[in-house]
Amino acid sequence: MTSPIASTLSTPHNADGAGAVLDGRFTSGKLRGVLAGTCALLGLDPAGARLLRFTNNAVYALVTAPFVVRIVGSTRLRHRVGTVVRVARHFEHHGVPAIRLLGDVEQPLEVGGHLVTVWHQVPSIGRPATSADLARLLRQVHALPAPDGLAEWAPFAAVRARVSDAEEISDADRVFLLDRCAELEAALAELEFPLPRGLVHGDAYPGNVIPGPDGPVLCDFDSSCVGPPEWDLTPLAVGGERFGDPAVRYRTFAAEYGFDVTSWSGFAVLRAIRELKLTTSVLPILRSRPQVRPELYRRLDDLRNGRTDTRWTRYR
């Protein structure tokens, strides 16, 4: 008998649940076209550019100039690029070690219907970022005032937007994800947070820290907001519990930061929200990157069946 997951994988679904195989909005060819258009505007050469990552955004490193081009990867989350620019400039003004926008260009750029930002590249020094690096950077972020106009923390808005913007999703999966949002939203409303609210990064894990020659720097500010610092302390803990990261990584992080979020009674709710966001992050690009489907449907099956002890593999 064919399993429900295998059946879903073999027949991609469009947003209406009807079987169809359509071209994705963010295929390699289309993204390369946006990259070429961006470089043409700036007088740069896209030849040989490397795709560094592509989940929420497509991030390319140029090899002909020390710049990184970042293409927004969701039509429903385009508004967040304004947050990215605002927070990047705020960090630069306050001297927070973070990636810097290309300064002589008004950003974001609009290229072929896509929103794009361009950044100075941080040279690699050949070692991964550590959890202690992240903890020290977060202490600096959490000590800052928030920039004017920064949105309040709304963790379910992005999930609902991705469900709405999914390149393909079954009706059953859509209903499950929206019901899960409502369930966790109710649980979140009951929490009392021990730390004072303020500026938070919003997606704080070592993958969003670049160890540069002058020290580690933060990147990826799409989710930055005014909210509970506990949210920034959750990803490392979830990394240990869901992805099997070494336990010492989180212990070092908590000791360096000075607070262990896993000892707080509300952590289970934050973990569940983080896992929901980790699961749905690829929905807007699912047809464009079909290789992530097996992991997506594995995660959906675990969430649907309440399995909290299974190991996940990070999207590539």
Please state which of the four CATH numbers 3.40.50.300, 3.90.1200.10, 3.40.50.720, 2.60.40.1530 is assigned to the domain occupying 4-304. 3.90.1200.10
Q: Does residue 108 have a cis bond before it (omega within 30 degrees)? A: yes
- The answer, yes or no, to whether residue 7 has pLDDT greater than 70, is no
Q: What is the pLDDT of residues 194-235, one digit of tens each?
A: 999 999 999 999 999 999 999 999 999 999 999 999 999 999
Residue 277 has pLDDT above 70, yes or no: yes
Strand partners, 225: 200
Rounded distance, CA 167 to CA 74, Å? 10
Q: Angle, to 10 degrees, between the axis of helix 267-280 and the axis of helix 155-164?
A: 30
Which token pair is 16?
A: 């209406």
Q: What is the spatial distance between Cα 219 and Cα 198, in angstroms, rounded to a whole number?
A: 19
C-alpha distance from residue 59 to each of 62, 121, 212 (Å)? 10, 11, 17
Residue 107: partners with Cβ closer than 8 Å, 6 or more residues away: 85, 101, 117, 118
CA distances from 176 to 120, 284, 305 (A): 41, 17, 11
Q: Give tens-digit pLDDT for 88-117.
A: 999 999 999 999 999 989 999 999 999 999
The whole-number pLDDT of residue 316 equals 78
Average pLDDT, the chain: 90
Percent of the chain with pLDDT over 90: 81
Cα(170)–Cα(105) distance, integer angstroms: 41
Q: What is the pLDDT of residues 30-87, one digit of tens each?
A: 999 999 999 999 999 999 999 998 877 899 999 999 999 999 987 777 889 999 999 9
Is residue 54 within 8 Å of 285, Cβ to Cβ? yes
Please, are residues 160 and 236 in contact by the beta-carbon 8 Å criterion?
no
Q: What is the pLDDT of residues 283-298, one digit of tens each?
A: 998 888 899 999 999 9
* pLDDT above 90: residue 13: no
HSE, side-chain direction, 13 A CA sphere, residue 286: 28
